[in-house]
Structure 1
Amino acid sequence: MVKTGLPFMLEDKSGSLSGSDFVDLYDRMFLRVRCTRGPDGASRYRVYDMFAWHDIPVATLEYGAAGTLGNITIIGPGALSRTQPMAAFLVEVGGARHRKFIASDGQEYSWSWRTNTHEDLEWSCTNANGHTVAWYVLKIPGEQYEDSSGCMFGVEEPYPHLATGQLMSEMVDFLATLLIMRHIATREGL
């Protein structure tokens, strides 16, 4: 992957937790999220790398009935997978809106809701040094977009060593944990 000095900015096509395409504005990455629901209210979300040549998801998020947190499975390079309970992977550190996790690169990151107000970020993810490494913004109120929600998911380029093989694993970690954070916020009415 060529370094451009630009953050990965993935347009969230639908803005919906029930499924969306996340397409990098510079065609460096394309992730798809799809959801299936069971009759008991349980759901399974799969994240696909649309540039891969297979139908194997790079991450699976499983929620129990009524949206309770279930398991997360990340499938890394060489089809190695790791599964663990979401609550153990994404640990609460100051309320439902602030949680931390250890990414595939072995580093600790934390997501928080509306704490980076000078950049108007809905969600921001920081590293152990407090630097913003990933973010999610909502569309600008009143603006209309054709074939897009206007929402954006971004990862600063120095961190996508977490997107080719290892870099892709880290991007998936950031997107999967963001999806869980958004799910928690929606479920708890935040």
Structure 2
Amino acid sequence: MASRTLPYFLEDRSGQLASTELDDIYDRLFLRIATAPAHTGLPGTSTVTIYTADRRSSRQRDHRPQGKPTVVLDFGHNGGLGKISFVGSSVSMPMSHYLKKTAMFGTSLSRKFRASDGEEYKWTYRTLHNQEWTCMDSKGYIVAHYNLKSPEKPAFNTSGNVLTIYDPYAHLVIEILASLTIMRHIEAHNL
């Protein structure tokens, strides 16, 4: 019987869009999302950064991200879409080109993106039972899904907010998180 690697189960500590830590429950991966001063300096703009960390946030004395971000999301005036920058690869583009609507007159909460592996992936909002956000590949296989804990459910030593990324797509963790962050921003700002 072949051994299989477990998916990444990234607990989203706060569930907040622009200020949280996502830690794999098996301590394999630790990510941070933080707000930063806007690069443009224009009033009404905001910048969100994504960092890869070397340990779980609850084990750190200082919860502020250290080092350079992996992804920088510069949002436009009054929450509008701006620019996404992948720091290590120097790739930068407008968010509207990175995450495109799946249909011209369709909902803004169904968008697709082309990842660094050359494949196309699609995020949808509340289209599958028990999944707030679902990411699928072009063949319809689930790549990742994100769930916020329902307010009526009790939490026992966990936030209950989880981003699950399946093993075949582990190489896309940063892109999946960046695209999910933009999708959640689109939903929160009714874009």
Residue in 2 that maps onto 1:121: 131
TM superposition shift of 1:143:
2.5
Residue in 2 that maps onto 1:28: 28
| Residue 149 of structure 2 corresponds to residue 155 of structure 1 | no
For residue 84 of structure 2, the aligned residue among 72, 78, 82 is: 72
| Alpha-carbon distance in structure 1 between the residues aligned to 2:19 and 2:101 | 25
| Alpha-carbon distance in structure 2 between the residues aligned to 1:41 and 1:4 | 47
Identity of aligned residues (%): 37
Q: Secondary structure at the residue paired with 1:96?
A: coil
Residue range with higher mean Cα deviation, 143-152 or 19-28: 143-152
| Alpha-carbon distance in structure 2 between the residues aligned to 1:41 and 1:9 | 34
TM-score of the superposed pair, with normalisation by structure 1 = 0.84
| Alpha-carbon distance in structure 2 between the residues aligned to 1:42 and 1:144 | 36
4+ aligned runs moved over 2 Å, structure 1: 36-39, 143-149
Q: Secondary structure at the residue paired with 1:159?
A: helix
| Alpha-carbon distance in structure 1 between the residues aligned to 2:44 and 2:82 | 13
Question: Cα RMSD over matched residues?
Answer: 1.9
Residue in 2 that maps onto 1:48: 51
- Report if aligned partners of 1:14, 1:148 keep a CA contact under 8 Å in 2: no
| Residue 142 of structure 2 corresponds to residue 132 of structure 1 | yes
| Alpha-carbon distance in structure 2 between the residues aligned to 1:21 and 1:147 | 15
For residue 179 of structure 1, the aligned residue among 170, 178, 181 is: 181
Residue in 2 that maps onto 1:18: 18
TM superposition shift of 1:146:
6.0
Larger radius of gyration: 2
Runs (5+) with no aligned partner, structure 1: 163-169
Residue range with higher mean Cα deviation, 128-137 or 140-149: 140-149
Runs (5+) with no aligned partner, structure 2: 56-65
User: What are the Cα deviations for residues 158-183 of structure 1, in whole angstroms up to 9, with x where unaligned?
Assistant: 111x2xxxxxxx11100000000000
Residue range with higher mean Cα deviation, 146-155 or 126-135: 146-155
